[in-house]
Amino acid sequence: MGELVLIRHGQTEWSRARRHTGRTDLPLTEEGERQAVALLPLLAGLDIDLVVTSPLRRAVRTAELAGLGETVPDPDLMEWDYGGYEGITTAEIQRERPEWNLWTDGVPEGDAEHPGESVEQVGERADRVLAAVSLILGGGSGPDVALVAHGHVLRVLTARWLGLAPSDGALLRLDTGAVSTLGREHGRPVITSWNRTA
């Protein structure tokens, strides 16, 4: 059917605590592993020809437990680099910056491992991923492609699929262990399902 199947990884300790988890490479919790296994029936019957994952282990392990077989890592699917806000919750940030919003205010520079990036930079990465998979999707007539990654990068990627600004990913909630699909209707990019969990 030529759909793009988006899979957000299962729960980690930091996602459970609502801490910004960009490049920190955390494993899944027991609940996260359960969420990943629960994806099996949601993915059954799809004609997935290619599975591309973030190289971070929470995404790779989710793909493995969901029975997706061989995967190809792509660093462009890594989560938003939160810079100086890595590991910090929104509530903690808003104690010092009460009106702060990730999508409009961005993140401060961090250390060498977490230098930070803007929403536009995340959008550029998403555009590269979409360009790379577009030939396989065949304008909607090819096989499905699965992307296993993280909440914010997948929300930005969806906004870009729809031709919206990267910051419009703010309009799309995406839970851990959720499956969404992007496709076409009358040749136009659309969301065909969103935030499905078992």
Kindly list the structural domains of the chain, giving each domain's residue range(s) and its CATH number in brackets, ordered by start.
4-196 (3.40.50.1240)
**Which residue of the set 3, 9, 33, 86 is catalytic?**
9
What integer is the mean pLDDT of 102-130?
97
In one letter, which amino acid is 137?
Answer: L
Query: The whole model's pTM is what?
Result: 0.97
Residue 123 has pLDDT above 80, yes or no: yes
DSSP 96-139: HSTT--HHHH------SS-----HHHHHHHHHHHHHHHHHHHGG
Segment 10-32 mean pLDDT: 97
Q: Which of 3, 20, 33, 79 is catalytic?
A: 79
Known catalytic membership, residue 9: yes
Region 96-110: mean pLDDT is: 97
The conformation of residue 140, written as its DSSP 8-state character, comes to G
Q: In what order do the strands lie in the sheet with 188-196?
A: 72-73, 48-53, 144-149, 4-8, 179-185, 188-196
Lowest mean pLDDT among 7-21, 36-50, 126-140: 126-140
Strand partners, 101: none
Residues 6+ apart with CB under 8 A from 39: 7, 62, 65, 66, 177, 179, 198
Does position 140 have pLDDT exceeding 70, yes or no? Answer: no
The CA distance from 155 to 163, in Å, is 13
Q: Mean pLDDT, to the nearest integer, of 112-139?
A: 93
d(CA 132, CA 149): 16
**Is 152 known to be catalytic?**
no
Residue 198 has pLDDT above 90, yes or no: no
Question: In whole angstroms, what separates CA 185 from the centre of its chain?
Answer: 23
Angle (CA) 50-72-19 rounded to 5° is 110
Is pLDDT above 90 for 137? Answer: no
Amino acid sitting at position 120: E
CA distance 69 to 67: 6
